[in-house]
Amino acid sequence: MITGSLAAPRTLLLGRYDDGGRLQYVGRTTTLSQAAGAAVAGLLTPGRPGHPWTGWSFSARWGSQEQLNVTLVEPELVVEVGVDVARDASDRWRHPARWHRARPDLSPADVPRLTSPPR
């Protein structure tokens, strides 16, 4: 999922597959620069019916009740991010991940599975 539009994504909501094959939400990126958003836009595919996160809601920031306005995209793009070690009670990254680059040379199958899915 993203915030913003398919043509101009602002943040990416990040997921990883667990050992059971379920896509688990792990965090989101900081706001993307215009250049990064433009680079990512061409790599996104609109979400299809049955997306694993259909109907989910996401808070605008840690500890907030405000909800993000998100757009579903297919969970096909692998990205490289930098994160710190702080995690919340659900084992998700507490602070936004720092965007490094898209990795269109990789598929989600190339990313190690979460061994203990977030609660």
- Note the pLDDT of residue 36: 94
What does the alpha-carbon distance between residue 107 and residue 6 come to, in Å, rounded to a whole number?
20
What does the alpha-carbon distance between residue 64 and residue 101 come to, in Å, rounded to a whole number?
28
How many distinct structural domains can be found in the chain?
1
DSSP state of 18: B
| Three-class DSSP category at 93 | strand
Residue 24 tokens read as: 């688990």
Helices vs. strands in the chain: H and E counts, helices first: 1, 6
Alpha helices in 16-99 (DSSP H): 34-41
Phi and psi at 3, nearest 5°, equal -105, 160
- Which residue, chain included where needed, has tokens 């996104």? 44
Residue 83: exposure state from Cβ atoms within 10 A (0-12, 13-18, ≥19):
middle
In a domain? residue 62: yes
Provide the CATH number for the domain around residue 27.
2.40.50
- Note the pLDDT of residue 117: 42
Instruction: For the chain, 119 residues long, give each residue's pLDDT as a single digit of tens.
Output: 999 999 999 999 999 898 899 999 888 899 999 999 999 999 999 999 999 999 888 877 666 677 788 999 999 999 999 888 767 666 666 678 899 999 999 999 999 998 764 44
Domain that holds residue 58: 2-101
In a domain? residue 85: yes
pTM: 0.83
In a domain? residue 113: no
In a domain? residue 115: no
